[in-house]
Amino acid sequence: MGIMTIDLSGQTAVVFGASRGIGEAVAKMLAEAGARVYVSSRSEKNCIKVMEEIVDAGYESVAISCDVSDIKQVDAVLARAEEETGRLDIVINNAGIDCVTPFLECSQEEMMRVVMTNEIGVNNGLQCAVNRMKKYGHGKVVSTSSFAGRRDLPHGLGFGHYGMCKAAVNYITQSAAFGGADYNINVNAVAPGIVLTKMWEDILDTAEKEGHNRDEAWKDYLKTYIPLARGAQTSEDIAYTMLFLCSKYADQITGQIIYVDGGASVA
């Protein structure tokens, strides 16, 4: 059958939360595979930067800002992609914000800030994407979850409300998968373990303020939470799995949470 190659030529992809990290990595991979990629996040400046890098590399991309907590803005991004290309094939729900405040200390305001982006934002992306893809009779939707949605983290790390939202992402991914199944739409999520994102930078900042060596704290976290000796995941590790889920090779995969976490979710 030959070596697996992923060709998304002529397809339209929208990546929410694409201005950095995992979202940026998957946006660039989708573009390299041939898709026209709409790069979206709250920061228009950062969206334009990623879009320009994609275009400079010889691929197609459009930048458009969006606050995923507002379902009208989410749907407007998807509508524009459809209007300009005549189709909608791939949607990545990656927008998210961190919350490292311990559970008992987290204010109502901070909790709702996290919920509106990490849970409601993904819900908005799922609902709008699946409803718009129905008429095409196909589509691939992938959301970003976390191993923190499956297990809590001890040792004082404030993942309670962050993990709560990611557990909700897992559940609504399955609900959306049922909703899209009759229309040949695949809906899945990828759950990273520890990637050096802004959230982990914040955790390391806190450790440093408490008098710990930053590099040693990072090594300790990896040793504590990731059994596999390879250590932390990269944004590219997660993006490769998302790229696969957007391809024809994943046509029989739906309603799944794929853990790319070095075993952190089962440790």
CATH assignment of the domain containing 30: 3.40.50.720
Task: Please indicate, yes or no, if residue 65 is contained in any of the structural domains.
Answer: yes
Task: Please indicate, yes or no, if residue 207 is contained in any of the structural domains.
Answer: no
| 153: pLDDT strictly greater than 70 | no
Task: Please indicate, yes or no, if residue 189 is contained in any of the structural domains.
Answer: yes
Task: Please indicate, yes or no, if residue 242 is contained in any of the structural domains.
Answer: yes
pLDDT band at 160 (very low <50, low <70, confident <90, very high): confident
Task: Please indicate, yes or no, if residue 32 is contained in any of the structural domains.
Answer: yes
> What are the Cα distances from residue 94, in Å, to 19, 21, 71?
10, 10, 15
Q: What is the pLDDT of residues 230-263, one digit of tens each?
A: 889 999 999 999 999 999 999 999 999 999 999 9
Buried b (16+ CB within 10 A) or exposed e, 51-75: bebbeeeebbbbbbbbbbbeeebbb
Catalytic residues: 162
| 93: pLDDT strictly greater than 60 | yes
Domain total in the chain: 1
In Å, how far from its chain's centre is CA 247?
Answer: 16
Q: What is the pLDDT of residues 164-216, one digit of tens each?
A: 899 999 999 999 999 999 999 999 999 998 898 877 887 888 888 888 899 99
DSSP state of 19: S
pLDDT of residue 199: 74
| 156: pLDDT strictly greater than 70 | no
Residue range 108-126: average pLDDT?
91
Q: Measured between alpha carbons, how far is 97 from 17 in angstroms, rounded to an integer?
A: 10
DSSP state of 263: T
Task: Please indicate, yes or no, if residue 215 is contained in any of the structural domains.
Answer: no
| 18: pLDDT strictly greater than 70 | yes
Look at 182 and 264; give whichever has higher pLDDT: 182
Q: Which amino acid is at 27?
A: A
| 225: pLDDT strictly greater than 90 | no
pLDDT band at 162 (very low <50, low <70, confident <90, very high): confident
Structure tokens at 67: 């606050």
pLDDT band at 13 (very low <50, low <70, confident <90, very high): very high
Unique residue bearing structure tokens 């979850």: 145
Q: Measured between alpha carbons, how far is 112 from 96 in angstroms, rounded to an integer?
A: 13
Output the CA angle 228-233-234, nearest 5 degrees.
Answer: 155
| 95: pLDDT strictly greater than 70 | yes
φ/ψ of residue 210, rounded to 5: -85, 5
pLDDT of residue 154: 59
Q: What is the pLDDT of residues 41-53, one digit of tens each?
A: 999 999 999 999 9
**DSSP-H helix ranges across the chain:** 21-32, 44-56, 71-85, 108-118, 120-133, 160-181, 198-209, 214-225, 235-245
Q: Measured between alpha carbons, how far is 12 from 60 in angstroms, rounded to an integer?
A: 10
Q: Which residues contact 111 (CB under 8 A, 6 or more apart)?
A: 99, 161
pLDDT of residue 158: 61
Residue range 98-114: average pLDDT?
80
Residue range 104-116: average pLDDT?
84
pLDDT of residue 85: 98
φ/ψ of residue 82, rounded to 5: -65, -45
Domain that holds residue 239: 12-193+234-260
Residue range 62-84: average pLDDT?
98
Q: Which amino acid is at 228?
A: L
Q: Are 246 and 8 in contact (CB under 8 A)?
A: yes
pTM confidence score: 0.93
Task: Please indicate, yes or no, if residue 7 is contained in any of the structural domains.
Answer: no
Q: What is the DSSP string of 80-123?
A: HHHHHHS---EEEE-------S-GGG--HHHHHHHHHHHTHHHH
What percentage of the chain has pLDDT greater than the value 70? Answer: 96
pLDDT of residue 155: 54
Task: Please indicate, yes or no, if residue 266 is contained in any of the structural domains.
Answer: no
Cβ count within 10 A of residue 257 = 21
